[in-house]
Amino acid sequence: MRVLATTTNPLKAQRLQELLRPLGWQVISLAEQQVPIPEVPHLSPLDSALVRAAAAAKASGIPAIADESVFELQVNGKLEHYSMHFGPWNTALERNLRLLERLRGLPIERRGARFITVMALAQPSGALEVFQGETAGLILQRMENQGGIGYDPLFFVTEASKTLADMTPEEREAVSPWRRAVERLVEAQQASKPRLQPSMPAAQPEAKPEPPPPQPTPMRVLVATSNAGKFKELREGLAPLGWQLFSLLDYPFKLPHEDGSTFEDNAMLKAAFATKQVGIPALADDSGLEVEALQGEPGVYSARYGGKSSDTERNLYLLDRLRHVKGEERRAKFVAVLVLAYPDGHLEAYRGEAHGLILEAPRGEGGFGYDPLFYVPEAGKTFAEMSLEEKAHYSHRGKALRALLEAHRNGPPPREIVVLE
Ligand SMILES: O=P(O)(O)OP(=O)(O)OP(=O)(O)OC[C@H]1O[C@@H](n2cnc3c(O)ncnc32)[C@H](O)[C@@H]1O
Ligand SMILES: [Mg+2]
């Protein structure tokens, strides 16, 4: 069965797909099927999830899922809800200071709060189901850990005895109300269907290995991209640094409109915005294809070339633009600029380029974007015909990543060396 998830975040859609796999559901996101979803401000989280799921199911004709997460707490006997969208304050730090101010003087025993996700499943017929996940905790009296994300440094999770800001992405997901709401949805669907008996005996628990020696805390970095293909390459490429990587799946907010005129401008725009949102360093990637015969088109417009909304359509559009250009004249290069932005405003930038030819028809199933059209003569293959490692060897992103790795070989580079602005 196909279900529509009312998110444009492909990382979130992908994670949902993994978690719903036991049901055999195929998740599609708003990125693949565009349907109008009403923006209704001032609704409770429950109403908001219901309204969005119902609208999506009705418009698409298939079941739809929508979720909404908030912090809920009692202030002077009244329930209040706080979300990433709370107030006109733009940064995580500002929002956290406001919340602290709001609760000033409240003793710790009155600072109990719940982190709640409401997940609505709507059928085109109008039938609705709601699943709720919850995590109980306390809003601390001060921020212990400045480097947290969103409300994370203030939310002390009772069962884990630490704040969300002190958790790894895996720990955070494990206690997240979102994950719990998805699990309830899965259980409920399974309960209404005959169960398959497991055919294998359950595995015996293995003897516990020795706990590893304590490691220095790795740098926490948000990889600020909504492109799942890029995220995969960035995660692989950054692995040697041992950073703790978060994604827009952990912190779903929209990246700003990319209106810069260079890859550098756009990467800075995205990274600087993201680090402000979350309060930890953020890495953004702005990239694109420059075709010589088209005077550098699509360039910074690569993600929206010809106003087309899918990779396939953009590839066809590019082929059409190049229909009179032959052989060696179809030279092109890919460019990637990585910007790592720190919460204090400091930036580092790394650039990588890859040269090749645009084929006359797509080749290969791997990669993403323009990969099936981008032929690397040296390798005798398109990017889409390469493994992840092989692509990283030749690609713009691989080169930019290696420059970053080199600069960070002995920890963050001295600030005098790579500073933009
Ligand atoms: O901005 P974010 O959220 O990171 O994701 P995006 O897809 O919008 O990314 P860009 O704004 O940097 O646009 C770059 C576009 O260029 C294309 N592109 C970049 N790197 C590529 C690669 O390695 N292989 C194929 N296409 C690539 C691809 O179509 C991207 O959508
Ligand atoms: Mg983009």
pLDDT digit string, tens, across residues 259-299:
999 999 999 999 999 998 888 899 999 999 999 999 999 99
Best CA proximity match to 38, nearest among 53, 22, 60? 53
Give the phi and the psi of residue 139 in degrees, each rounded to 5. Answer: -90, 115
Neighbours of 143 (CB within 10 A): 18
* 170 and 312 fall within a common domain: no
Residues 333-365: tens digit of each pLDDT:
999 999 999 988 889 999 999 999 999 999 999
Give percent of the chain above pLDDT 90: 62
**278, 222 Cβ separation under 8 angstroms:** yes
224 vs 81, residue with greater confidence = 224
Task: Tell whether 417 is covered by a domain.
Answer: no
Q: What is the pLDDT of residue 279?
A: 85
Query: What's the token pair of residue 411?
Result: 């920890």
Please state the ipTM of this predicted complex. Answer: 0.98
- Which of 172, 191, 210 is where one domain is finished? 191
**20, 27 Cβ separation under 8 angstroms:** yes
Domain that holds residue 263: 220-407
Using the 8-state DSSP alphabet, how is residue 409 labeled?
B
3-state secondary structure of 229: helix
Output the known binding site for Mg(2+).
286
Ligand nearest the Cα of residue 284 is 1
In this structure, the residue with its CA closest to atom 5 of ligand 1 is: 227
* 238 and 183 fall within a common domain: no
Separation in Å, CA 373 to CA 111, 123, 308, 353, 376? 57, 39, 16, 16, 10
* 371 C-alpha to ligand 2 centroid (Å): 16
3-state secondary structure of 2: strand
Tell me which of 257, 287, 338, 397 to substitute to probe ligand 1's pocket, judged by most ligand atoms within 8 Å of the beta carbon: 287
Task: Tell whether 8 is covered by a domain.
Answer: yes
Neighbours of 16 (CB within 10 A): 24
Number of structural domains, the chain?
2
The residue count of the chain comes to 421
59 CB-contact burial (10 Å; exposed 0-12 / middle 13-18 / buried 19+): middle
Residues 365-396: tens digit of each pLDDT:
999 999 999 999 999 999 999 999 999 999 99
Predicted confidence band of residue 202 (pLDDT cuts 50, 70, 90): very low
Tell me which of 12, 227, 337 to substitute to probe ligand 1's pocket, judged by most ligand atoms within 8 Å of the beta carbon: 227
Task: Tell whether 89 is covered by a domain.
Answer: yes
215 CB-contact burial (10 Å; exposed 0-12 / middle 13-18 / buried 19+): exposed
Give percent of the chain above pLDDT 70: 89
Angle value at C-alpha 141, between 138 and 144, nearest 5 degrees: 95
Instruction: Look at strands 220-223 and 282-291 and give their pairing.
Output: parallel
* 172 and 243 fall within a common domain: no
One-letter identity of residue 295 = Q
- Per DSSP, the chain holds a count of helices (H) and strands (E) of 10, 16
* 289 and 335 fall within a common domain: yes
Task: Tell whether 211 is covered by a domain.
Answer: no
Give the phi and the psi of residue 38 in degrees, each rounded to 5. Answer: -65, 140
State pTM to two decimals. Answer: 0.73
Largest CA distance in the chain: 74
Gap between the Cα atoms of 395 and 251, Å rounded: 28
Ligand 1: which atom is nearest the Cα of residue 391?
A: 23
Ligand 1: which atom is nearest the Cα of residue 288?
A: 16
Alpha helix positions (H), 201-262 = 228-238
3-state secondary structure of 144: coil
Predicted confidence band of residue 195 (pLDDT cuts 50, 70, 90): very low
* 273 C-alpha to ligand 1 centroid (Å): 18
In this structure, the residue with its CA closest to atom 29 of ligand 1 is: 369
Task: Tell whether 206 is covered by a domain.
Answer: no
Best CA proximity match to 46, nearest among 110, 133, 130? 130
203 vs 232, residue with greater confidence = 232
In which residue are the tokens 């070339």 written?
305
* 96 and 10 fall within a common domain: yes
Residues 6-28: tens digit of each pLDDT:
988 888 889 999 999 999 999 99
Tell me which of 277, 302, 314 to substitute to probe ligand 1's pocket, judged by most ligand atoms within 8 Å of the beta carbon: 302
Gap between the Cα atoms of 242 and 223, Å rounded: 14
Output the known binding site for substrate.
225-230, 287, 368-371, 391, 396-397
Ligand 1: which atom is nearest the Cα of residue 248?
A: 3
Ligand 1: which atom is nearest the Cα of residue 395?
A: 23
* 64 and 186 fall within a common domain: yes
Task: Tell whether 214 is covered by a domain.
Answer: no
* 141 and 241 fall within a common domain: no
In this structure, the residue with its CA closest to atom 31 of ligand 1 is: 303
One-letter identity of residue 415 = R
67 is a catalytic site residue: no
Task: Tell whether 31 is covered by a domain.
Answer: yes
In this structure, the residue with its CA closest to atom 8 of ligand 1 is: 303
3-state secondary structure of 82: strand
Residues 137-156: tens digit of each pLDDT:
999 998 876 655 678 889 99
Ligand nearest the Cα of residue 225 is 1
Separation in Å, CA 287 to CA 48, 235, 254, 297, 392? 35, 16, 18, 12, 14
Q: Which residues are CB-contacts of 43 (< 8 A; sequence separation ≥ 6)?
A: 51
Best CA proximity match to 308, nearest among 359, 267, 369? 369
The residues lining ligand 1, judged by C-beta closer than 6 Å to any ligand atom, are 225-227, 230, 255, 258, 285-288, 302-303, 334, 367-371, 383, 395, 397
* 38 and 159 fall within a common domain: yes
Angle, helix 10-20 to helix 177-191, in steps of 10 degrees: 40
Strand partners, 27: 3
Catalytic residue among 67, 250, 285, 286: 286
Gap between the Cα atoms of 314 and 380, Å rounded: 23
Please report, for the domain that includes residue 278, its CATH number. Answer: 3.90.950.10
The H or E element that residue 115 is part of is strand 112-122
Neighbours of 195 (CB within 10 A): 7
* 221 C-alpha to ligand 2 centroid (Å): 19
Task: Tell whether 215 is covered by a domain.
Answer: no
* 303 C-alpha to ligand 2 centroid (Å): 6
Best CA proximity match to 407, nearest among 336, 348, 342, 343? 348
* 258 C-alpha to ligand 2 centroid (Å): 6
